[in-house]
């Protein structure tokens, strides 16, 4: 893709009282990149991601998301990003079509656009026959894939995925990553957190957070070489073991 930066962060910090959840992190994400954002539980990755999405106000530091300043242009950022949280976030008492209409609607899509998107999505996920089924009746794997599609309904420049594959089976995970690749192929920047190290290997570059700081940032291949180990799993364990913070 291009060399323009999708996300640019410098010295971004978040404090909760005396506790520094995110400690002056600095990194860049290129456009169209799949960026893996790793870290043990409590390392601060969710907090960092929430700041970038505008869900949490930074204590200090600078950040530029999709070309907009995090402090001054948060409304423009909101239009340019998609977000999928750890929790499954579609409405269970609404049908697939109704969920699409709602999420498309709050992003200001027209009826026609929503219709087309929905059609495309249903076809892509082979869910045509389920369009008017209540979401609660669907299996978890489908819900998760649907959730991802919905977070992309407005064609965001960047999509933030917070542990998107938690609790789903390996086949669905694989399918999910196929979807991520497709999105990246279309030029969407993917910013993803995960606990699965095999997934880390799928990323273009990964960063590893320990105690609120970024301890390593490179391609998976370079990292394994740098730490002289066989895979990302060992890189992660080596770094995460240094953590002084306990699991929150």
Which chain residues interact with other proteins by CB under 8 A? 16, 50, 53-57, 75, 78-79, 81, 83, 85-94, 98, 101-108, 151
Cβ proximity to other proteins: between 81 and 223 the closer is: 81
- Shortest approach of other proteins to residue 103 CB, angstroms? 7
Q: How far is the CB of 40 from other proteins (least distance, A)?
A: 22
Shorter beta-carbon distance to other proteins: residue 30 or 78: 78
Nearer residue to other proteins within complex by CB, 105 or 187: 105
CB of 140 to other proteins, least distance (A): 15
Strand partners, 7: 29, 65
**Hey, what long-range contacts does 107-112 have (CB within 8 A, 24 or more apart)?**
107/79, 107/153, 107/154, 108/79, 108/154, 109/153, 109/154
Q: To the nearest whole angstrom, how small is the minimum distance from the Cβ of residue 53 to other proteins?
A: 5
Kindly tell me which of 156 and 220 has the beta carbon lying closer to other proteins: 156
Contact between 64 and 11 under an 8 Å Cβ cutoff? The reply is no
222-248 per-residue burial string, b: 16 or more CB within 10 A, e: under 16: ebbeebeeeebeebbeebbeebeeeee
Residue 165 vs 224, nearer CB to other proteins: 165
Give yes or no for a contact between 48 and 212, defined as CB atoms under 8 angstroms apart. Answer: no
The residue length of the chain stands at 248
CB of 217 to other proteins, least distance (A): 25
Q: Is the distance from CB of 239 to CB of 215 less than 8 angstroms?
A: yes
């Amino acid at each position: 893709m291009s060399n323009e930066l999708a996300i640019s962060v410098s010295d971004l910090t978040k404090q909760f009282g005396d506790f520094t959840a995110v400690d002056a992190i600095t990194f860049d994400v290129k456009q169209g990149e799949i960026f893996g954002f790793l870290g043990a539980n409590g390392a601060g990755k969710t907090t960092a991601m929430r700041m970038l999405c505008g869900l949490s106000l930074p204590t200090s530091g600078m950040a530029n998301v999709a070309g907009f300043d995090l402090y001054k242009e948060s409304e423009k950022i909101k239009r340019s990003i998609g977000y999928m949280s750890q929790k499954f976030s579609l409405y269970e008492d609404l049908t697939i079509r109704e969920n699409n209409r709602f999420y498309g609607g709050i992003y200001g899509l027209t009826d026609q656009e929503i219709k087309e998107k929905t059609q495309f999505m249903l076809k892509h996920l082979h869910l045509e026959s389920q369009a008017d089924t209540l979401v609660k009746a669907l299996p978890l794997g489908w819900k998760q894939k649907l959730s991802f599609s919905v977070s992309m309904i407005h064609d965001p420049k960047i999509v933030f995925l917070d542990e998107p594959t938690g609790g789903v089976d390996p086949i669905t995970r694989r399918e999910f990553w196929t979807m991520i690749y497709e999105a990246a192929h279309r030029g969407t920047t993917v910013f993803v957190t995960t606990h699965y190290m095999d997934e880390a290997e799928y990323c273009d570059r990964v960063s590893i957070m320990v105690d609120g700081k970024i301890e390593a940032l490179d391609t998976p291949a370079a990292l394994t070489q740098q730490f002289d180990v066989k895979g990302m799993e060992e890189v992660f364990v080596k770094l995460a073991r240094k953590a002084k913070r306990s699991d929150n």
